[in-house]
Amino acid sequence: MRAWVLPLVWGCNYAPPSTDPVDSPAPTPDAAPTQFTLFVADSGEGKVHRFAIEDSANIPAPNLEIAVNGALTPVILPQLDELLVGQVPNAVLVRFTTPFAQPTSNGLVSGGGLGANMGKMTMVDDELWVVNQAGSNVVRFAFDPDGVPSPAGAIPNIAMGRGIYFDAQRRNLYVSQCCGVNSVLHFGVSAERVVSSKSTTSGVALSSPHGLLVTPWGELFVANASANAIRRFMLTGGGQPIPAGEITGNGLDLPFDLVMTPWDELFVTNGAGGTISRFTFDAAHVATPRDNFEVPDAASLAWMALDVR
């Protein structure tokens, strides 16, 4: 951002000099993303399926399978360009370098009270936040410039936590609570990552809620696993969810996690088997089933991570 330094000259004919270099080229817009990679955990088969996806009618096919015993929840760590995968049987996150080429194992992340069978993970700025079912909290990890992790605190009192989504634009955080609690917690996150409780949404036909996301047009989608549906919520200016219907059909069978592509296509993993349901949306945001495709050799699909670059 340029700051003008104006001389103390009063009058109508004064104009500040140009600060643009002579013959400078016109600015060019940032390049549009061209690579879209989807990582899907398969706890039953002990692997992570990697897909290159595109806006086409073609059914995506995995281009790589990464073996991880009890793979449950993947996340991309952008500042280090690493893939982290949480395991069902162990209280660790397995690290992989070069996740978009041939992934290479690069150690583990543990500590901070992290237990086995963790829920979804997400990046909040440059920190990793993990739903920690064993501790009824969300565990936070920071990474130094060399990639060394350290615990950075936790968000307490989150019983039966499952999904987590950070709306970076509005600094809102949503966490789903499953299995008898059946709620969605809403938090505000300051620029310094100070967390404040905002609201609790429960009772509105939520039944074992798992994955969630905020759409580009301002709705909150929640994978309502036991109801085989996606619950829709409009968000107020402050980010509080207001019930707004549901999406059903198209093979939804214990829907587990959700991701949305830059072209507004919804991918949903079905935890009862090895399929992914896809939906598109028209200008009025009405959902249309696209397909329900099988992931080869999949057993129990769980959490996903979508990387766009």
* pLDDT 10s digits, 201-260: 998 999 999 999 999 999 999 999 999 999 999 999 999 999 999 999 999 999 999 999
Cα–Cα dist 288/29, whole Å: 33
Whether the model clears a pTM of 0.85, i.e. scores above it, the answer is yes
In the chain, where the domains are located:
36-308
Alpha-carbon gap, residue 231 to 205, rounded angstroms: 8
**C-beta separation of 267 from 259 below 8 A:** yes
Rounded Cα–Cα distance for residues 145 and 222 (Å): 35
- Among 10-14, 67-71, 101-105, 264-268, name the one with the lowest average pLDDT: 10-14
Distance CA 256, CA 230 (A): 10
Say yes or no: domain 36-308 is CATH 3.90.550.60.
no
Reported as a single tens digit per residue, the pLDDT across 131-179 is 999 999 999 999 999 999 999 999 999 999 999 999 999 999 999 999 9
Amino acid at 222: V
The pLDDT of residue 7 is: 29
What span, in angstroms and rounded, lies between the C-alpha atoms of 180 and 202?
A: 11
Structure tokens at 87: 């395991």
pLDDT tens per residue, range 55-65? 888 899 999 99
**pLDDT value for 57:** 81
Checking if the pLDDT of 4 tops 90, the result is no
- At 29, is the pLDDT very low, low, confident or very high (cuts 50, 70, 90)? low
Pairing of strands 93-97, 275-281: unpaired
